[in-house]
Amino acid sequence: MSSPRVPGPRTFRVAAVTALVPAAVVAGWALIGDLSSEGFAATELDYARRPPELAVWESVLIGVGVGALAVWAVVVGLRHRLRRTALVPSVLVGLLLAGVGRVATAGVVGANIGYGLALLLLLPTAAVLLALAVALAWRPRARRTG
């Protein structure tokens, strides 16, 4: 009977890059804030998607969870020689997805045209950036000699 195969450094680098995406989504969601139209009653606004209604403890739990995920990703990345340039596209993917989420949950009067444009333009951009991050994470950083 053979022993189970242990994942290699490449697997950990790719996992670290993809783990930063949800952390950036939650951080971006909090930083962007509500984009609903001001000056109207909540009953007068139309929503493409209703924003999630979370209790304070749920928000704190999500924040702590993705914070721990981000710390894990950075530690694993440093341990397995992850290129720092691979982190930037994965964080941008998370911020783009947070922006799409905030536009989707914005209360507006009439049609939410921004949601359609965000889906049309930002999601393909996020897919390309995530592919770039994974490709950069696939190869290790070169060792310095000297």
Average pLDDT of the chain, as a whole number? 85
Label residue 144 by pLDDT band (50, 70, 90): low
Label residue 2 by pLDDT band (50, 70, 90): low
Label residue 1 by pLDDT band (50, 70, 90): low
pLDDT higher than threshold 70 for residue 78: yes
Distance in angstroms (rounded) separating the CA atoms of residues 115 and 122: 10
Label residue 145 by pLDDT band (50, 70, 90): low
CB-based contacts of 83: which residues, under 8 Å, 6+ apart?
A: 136, 137, 139, 140, 141
